[in-house]
C-alpha cells in the first residue's frame, strides 16, 4: 500500500472527493487482497472492498491518528470481511467445487510453472476457507502479511493471547486438513 499523507486523510475526512479518490487509488488493491484472503472468492472480495470504502468514507472523520492509517484500514477491512464471511457461510452450502479440466497437450515450461503456482495458491485458498473467519484473519495477517502478534491484536482489536490462541487452533486445523488430504491421495 502506498503511503497516504495525513494531509490527504484530513482533506478526505472533510469531504474532499479528490483526496478520497487518492486514498482509494493508494489502498484499494491492499484492501482487496486482505479481503480476498479472508472471504476466498473474487466476487465476495470485490463486495467487501466496496463495503470497506463506504465505511472509510463515512467513518474517516472519526480517525484520530492514534494508530497508523494502515492499521486502522486493516481493522476495518478484516471486520468487514469476517462479518461478510460469517453471513455468506450461513447463506451458502458449504460445498467445495474443484474442477480440474486440463487437456493433455504440450505446455510450455513457463506456462506449466504458472499453472503450478496457481494450483498451489488455489490449494492454500481452499485450506484457508476451511478455517473460521477469525482464525483465517489471524493466519493471513501473520503468515502472509508478516504482521507481529501485537500488530494483529491491534488490527483486530483483540487481546494478544486471543491472537495466539486463534493462530494455534488455525495451524492445528490446517495440519489436520493437510494430513487428511495426503491420506486421501494415497
Count CB-CB contacts under 10 A for residue 162. 15
**Domain map (residue ranges) of the chain:** 1-95, 104-186
Higher-pLDDT residue of 55 and 2 is 55
| Res. 14: pLDDT tops 80 | yes
Tell me the percentage of the chain whose pLDDT exceeds 70.
75
Report residue 180's pLDDT band, with 50, 70 and 90 as the boundaries. Answer: low
Distances from the Cα of 168 to the Cαs of 103, 107, 171, 172, in angstroms?
40, 40, 5, 6
Q: Are 124 and 177 in contact (CB under 8 A)?
A: no
Topology of domain 104-186, CATH: Arc Repressor Mutant, subunit A (1.10.10)
| Res. 111: pLDDT tops 50 | yes
| Whole-prediction pTM | 0.56
Q: Going by CATH, does the domain composed of 1-95 fall within 1.10.1740.10?
A: yes
Q: Report the pLDDT averaged over residues 167-177.
A: 86
Tell me the range of 34-43, 84-93, 104-113 where mean pLDDT is highest: 34-43
Tell me the percentage of the chain whose pLDDT exceeds 90.
24
Residue 97's φ and ψ, nearest 5 degrees, are -105, 130
Q: Can you state the percent helix, strand and coil of the chain, rounding each to 5?
A: 75, 0, 25
DSSP state of 142: I
Give the per-residue pLDDT at 18. 92
144: which 3 cell numbers?
A: 502472509
Alpha-carbon distance of 97 to 113, in angstroms, equals: 23
Amino acid at each position: 500500500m502506498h503511503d497516504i499523507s495525513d494531509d490527504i486523510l484530513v482533506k478526505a475526512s472533510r469531504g474532499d472527493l479528490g483526496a478520497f479518490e487518492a486514498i482509494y487509488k493508494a489502498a484499494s488493491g491492499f484492501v482487496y487482497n486482505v479481503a480476498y484472503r479472508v472471504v476466498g472468492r473474487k466476487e465476495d472480495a470485490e463486495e467487501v472492498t466496496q463495503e470497506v470504502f463506504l465505511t472509510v468514507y463515512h467513518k474517516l472523520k472519526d480517525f484520530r491518528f492514534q494508530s497508523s492509517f494502515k492499521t486502522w484500514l486493516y481493522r476495518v477491512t478484516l471486520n468487514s470481511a469476517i462479518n461478510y464471511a460469517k453471513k455468506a457461510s450461513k447463506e451458502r452450502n458449504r460445498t467445495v467445487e474443484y474442477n480440474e479440466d486440463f487437456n493433455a497437450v504440450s505446455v510450455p515450461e513457463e506456462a506449466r510453472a504458472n499453472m503450478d503456482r496457481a494450483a498451489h495458491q488455489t490449494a492454500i485458498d481452499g485450506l484457508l476457507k476451511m478455517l473460521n473467519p477469525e482464525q483465517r484473519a489471524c493466519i493471513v495477517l501473520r503468515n502472509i502479511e508478516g504482521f507481529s502478534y501485537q500488530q494483529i491484536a491491534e488490527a483486530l482489536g483483540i487481546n494478544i493471547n486471543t491472537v495466539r490462541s486463534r493462530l494455534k487452533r488455525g495451524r492445528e486445523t490446517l495440519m489436520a486438513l493437510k494430513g487428511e488430504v495426503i491420506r486421501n491421495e494415497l
